[in-house]
Amino acid sequence: MFKIVKREEMASGTVVLNEIEAPRIAAKARPGQFLILKANENGERIPLTMAETDPEKRTVTVIYMVVGKSTELFRRLQVGDAYQDVIGPLGQPTHIEPGKNVVCVGGGTGVAVLHPIARGMKNADCRVTSIIGARNRDLLILEDKMRLASTDLHICTDDGSYGRKGFVTEVLKEQLTRGGVDQVVAIGPVPMMKFVSLLTKDFGVPTMVSLNPIMIDGTGMCGGCRVTVGGETKFGCVDGPEFDGHKVDFDELILRLQAYTEQERLSHGRCKCEGVHS
């Protein structure tokens, strides 16, 4: 069992942080890697990229948005409760090149995954310009941490309730136009990563995205997380989760992520009936 030692609600309770005791994983995990979590006996195996690891406290931290039945079950777990299963660290760690001029773009809960990468890059003497965004002020997470991990931080909200009104791509375009950017890292909703990648392609700036396709085992066995990258089929779990944004077939990924939309609605509907919502 993997006990929760810290729990925090963000973004008006729609986003939850869980710090979980997992000694073996904490000792091994690197930025960019992910875990698979399963709440209980009948639960689904859900992949989530780690937001933090603390080898001394022997813990790992995930931050997730509550969207369906499984994440709803995750949200119900309180400090002292445990996940039945936590598996990892899975996937390839982020490759960090020191001394580069990097722009880190994060949207929604993607900022949680972006943060350790931005921090790692800043620690490796990169100049880190971060652009983080959300639909509105309430949904913006980790602003303070991102400020510490960045040389320069820009904030946008879709409705203008905080920072600049508009999309992260608009600020990114200004940065790219100014020039001198060696690399862009974009993590967030798939459409955001798609539009960031289209933009950076015009400017010829290498772009890394972190994908979260549907998967079961996370070890290359099920093939559910297939992604087309540069015309080749890759497995998100073992070849990723990070890929060259200019080569990813985002439209295919969007369709594949919708594979179970109807069933999820059914499952979540039942979940509400049974009073899972606290």
DSSP, res 94: P
Give me the least distance between CB of 59 and other proteins, in Å please: 15
- Residue count (the chain): 278
Q: How far is the CB of 96 from other proteins (least distance, A)?
A: 20
Residues binding other proteins (CB under 8 A)? 24-25, 28, 38, 42-45, 69-70, 73, 84-90, 216-224, 226-228, 233, 238, 252, 255-256, 258-260, 263-264, 266-267, 270
Q: Residue 160: helix, strand or coil by DSSP?
A: coil
CA distance 194 to 248: 8
- Choose between 5 and 238: whose C-beta lies nearer to other proteins: 238
Q: How far is CA 17 from CA 71, 77, 82, 145, 208, in A?
A: 11, 11, 14, 14, 25
Give CA–CA dist 155/149, Å, rounded. Answer: 14
Is residue 235 helix, strand or coil?
strand
For other proteins, the closer of residues 79 and 266 by Cβ is: 266
Q: Whole-number minimum distance, CB 20 to other proteins, in Å?
A: 12
Q: How far is the CB of 131 from other proteins (least distance, A)?
A: 31
Pairing outcome for strands 2-10 and 82-83: antiparallel
Q: Provide the minimum distance between the beta carbon of 220 and other proteins in the complex, in angstroms, as a whole number.
A: 5
CA–CA distance, 63 with 187 (Å, rounded to integer): 14
Structure tokens at 250: 């985002």
Residue with Cβ nearer other proteins (166 or 220): 220
Which C-beta is closer to other proteins: that of 123 or that of 258?
258
